[in-house]
């Protein structure tokens, strides 16, 4: 690929990233569809509503924080769930890998949301739940 094409692509990505921040995407499904435009998480200062990608998930900050003050808030640490929640898709295309909810109502799965379980199959939530299909099968329906 020519350098001019690479430069144009980098510019298009830059502009798209700026636009996605002000696009008014309020639905988790819409945010996941645009997730390729969100930055990867790095240590820093975050405000409520910031979106970042980490560990195969797209996350929303729901409690402002600064990693200088809270260096333990990383995707690999349990403190992460005090500040970030995973976004849940509503279609098989936007389903993300199953994560056990850690923070009560903040990150439970709601009716209609989809996830990819550890068996590689897509399931749709039938009732607001923090249980997996193995823990309480009635909360989930297999998407064929």
What is the structure's pLDDT at 61? 95
Residue 95 buriedness (CB in 10 A; 0-12 / 13-18 / 19+):
buried
CA-to-CA dists, residue 92 to 30, 48, 122, angstroms = 13, 27, 6
Q: How far apart are CA 9 and CA 4, in angstroms?
A: 9
> pLDDT per residue over 59-75, tens digit each?
999 999 999 999 999 99
Within the chain, which residues score under 70 in pLDDT?
20-23
Q: Which two tokens stand for residue 119?
A: 């068996």
Q: Taking the model in full, what pTM does it have?
A: 0.84
Query: How far apart (Å, rounded) are the C-alpha atoms in residues 90 and 74?
Result: 26
Gap between the Cα atoms of 109 and 101, Å rounded:
8
8 Å CB contact between 25 and 35 = no
Domains of the chain, first to last: 1-87 (2.10.10.20), 90-144 (2.10.10)
**Beta partners for residue 70, in sequence order:** none
| Helices and strands in the chain: count of H runs, count of E runs | 2, 9
- Alpha-carbon distance 67 to 77, whole Å? 13
Task: Quick: pLDDT tens for 80-104.
Answer: 999 999 999 999 999 999 999 987 7
């Amino acid at each position: 690929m020519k350098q001019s094409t690479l430069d144009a692509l980098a510019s298009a990505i830059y502009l798209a990233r700026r636009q996605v921040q002000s696009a008014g995407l309020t639905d988790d499904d819409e945010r996941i569809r645009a997730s390729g435009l969100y930055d990867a998480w790095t240590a820093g200062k975050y405000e409520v509503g910031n979106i970042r990608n980490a560990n195969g998930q797209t996350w929303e900050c729901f409690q402002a924080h600064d990693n200088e003050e809270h260096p333990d808030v990383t995707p690999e640490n349990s403190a992460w769930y005090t500040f970030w929640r995973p976004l849940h898709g509503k279609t098989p295309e936007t389903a993300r890998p199953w994560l056990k909810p850690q923070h009560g109502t903040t990150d439970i799965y709601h009716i209609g949301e989809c996830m990819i379980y550890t068996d590689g199959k897509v399931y749709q939530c039938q009732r607001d739940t923090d249980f997996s299909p193995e823990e309480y099968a009635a909360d989930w329906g297999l998407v064929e």
